[in-house]
Homo-oligomer: A and B are copies of this chain.
Amino acid sequence: MSALIAVDIGGTTMRAASYPSSSLEPIKINKIHRTNSSKSVFQYLRELIQSVWVDSQEVIGLSIASPGPINPETGYIFNAPNLPGWVDFPLGEKLRDIYSVPIFFGNDANFAAFGEWKYGAGVGHSNLIYMTISTGIGGGIICDDHLLTGQNGLAAELGHVVIQPDGPLCSCGKKGHLEALASGPAIVDHLKEQIGKGYSSSLALIKNFSAIDVAEAAKNGDKLAIRSIERAGETIGLALASFVHIFNPSIIILGGGVTMNGNFLFDPLLQKLKVEIFETVYLKDLEVVPAKLGDDSGLLGALAFARNKLNMN
C-alpha cells in the first residue's frame, strides 16, 4: 500500500502525518512545538518527517504547507516571517537533496482553501473564497475548480489589501491593510487604545492580554471587548463585499482563531457584507460558513493537493 506524507509548517507548531491512498485517517501523525533551541527549523522538519515515515509502505509523495510566500513549483521560500533564517530559503532544493519522491509545496492558507474545497465546508462549490483570521489574515481562492496561485504562487494574500489608506501599520510594513484592522493582534490593539482613552473593560488592569483573553472577556459580557470584536467583524464584512465583487463566489469559508468568537464576529460581518454588496444577485446562493477542518486544514489541504497532482482524487 502506498502512502503520502503531508506537513504543515506553522509559526511555532509543526504538524506531519502519513496517509494511505484513499482515506483521511492518518497512518501516523505527529506534531512538535519548536523552542528556541540551537536546532534549526529545517532540522525540526527532517525529524518530524522521519517520525511519520512508514517503512513498510511505499511513500509516493511529500506535500508541504508553508507559511508566507513560497514558489509552489520550486519550493523556494521568499520570506516566512516567523521562521528564523527562512528568508530566501531554498526549501525545495534542500528537501529534494534528501528525498527522491515527488514533493509539492504551497502557501498554508492556499492549501487550507484547497482542503476545505476537497474535504471540508466547500465540497461541491466551484467558486470559493477561504479566509483564515488569526495572528495574521491569509486567504485561498478556488475559481472554476482551480486553485488561484498567480505567476509565482503568491496570489490570494487577502490580508494585505488596503481597506483604509491612512489606517494602522500592518505587520508587513504597509498601512491600512485588512490584517492591520481585523486580525487577533488588531483586536487587541484596538481594545488597548480604547482602554487608554478611558473606556472601562475587565481587561484594563491586565498588562499584556491576548486575543484569547479578549474572546473570554467578551463571553463574560465585557462590552468594550465585544465592541472590539464586532468592529473587526464589520471590517471583514466590508472587505468581503469587495472580494465578492471580484470573485463572485458561491461560498465564503472563514477559519482561524478569531472565528472562535462566533456571533460576536459573524453577526456584524454578515450584516456589513450584505449592506455593501452593490447588486443583490451576488448574494443569491452565496453561503458564508465557518471552516470545517480546524487544526488539520493545512495537513488535509497538503494531502488533497498532492492527491490531485498525482491524479489520485
* Chain A positions near chain B (C-beta within 8 angstroms): 69, 78-79, 126-127, 141, 143-144, 146, 148-158, 160-165, 170, 172-174, 177, 238-239, 241-242, 245-250, 276, 278-279, 281-282, 284-285
Q: 8 A-B contacts, Cβ less than 8 Å apart? A: A69-B281, A78-B281, A127-B151, A144-B148, A144-B149, A150-B247, A154-B245, A246-B246
Nearest chain B residue, comparing its CB with the CB of A177: B278
Q: SS class of chain A's interface: helix, strand, loop or mixed?
A: loop
Closest Cβ of chain B to A61, distance in Å, is 22
Q: How many copies does the complex hold?
A: 2
Nearest chain B residue, comparing its CB with the CB of A164: B165
Q: How far is the CA of A69 from the CA of B177 in the complex (A)?
A: 28
Given contacts A127-B155, A141-B246, A143-B155, 6 further A-B contacts (CB under 8 A): A127-B151, A143-B148, A151-B249, A155-B248, A162-B241, A164-B164
Q: How far is the CA of A177 from the CA of B279 in the complex (A)?
A: 14
Closest Cβ of chain B to A172, distance in Å, is 4
Q: How far is the CA of A162 from the CA of B172 in the complex (A)?
A: 20
Is A154's CB under 8 angstroms from B278's CB?
no
Closest Cβ of chain B to A71, distance in Å, is 9
Given A154-B282, A248-B154, are A163 and B160 neighbors across the interface (CB < 8 Å)? no
Residues of B within 8 A of A160 (CB): 242, 245, 278
Is A172's CB under 8 angstroms from B278's CB?
yes
Is A162's CB under 8 angstroms from B79's CB?
no
Closest Cβ of chain B to A108, distance in Å, is 16
Residues of B within 8 A of A249 (CB): 150-151
Given A143-B143, A247-B148, are A154 and B238 neighbors across the interface (CB < 8 Å)? no
Is B152's CB under 8 angstroms from A246's CB?
no
The 3 closest A-B pairs by CB, nearest first: A150-B248, A172-B278, A161-B242
Is B165's CB under 8 angstroms from A281's CB?
no
Q: How far is the CA of A273 from the CA of B172 in the complex (A)?
A: 15
Q: How far is the CA of A164 from the CA of B167 in the complex (A)?
A: 10
Is A278's CB under 8 angstroms from B247's CB?
no
Given A127-B151, A162-B238, A247-B150, are A170 and B285 neighbors across the interface (CB < 8 Å)? no
Residues of B within 8 A of A157 (CB): 245-246, 278
Residue of B148, B165, B170, B281 touching A238 (CB-CB under 8 A): B165
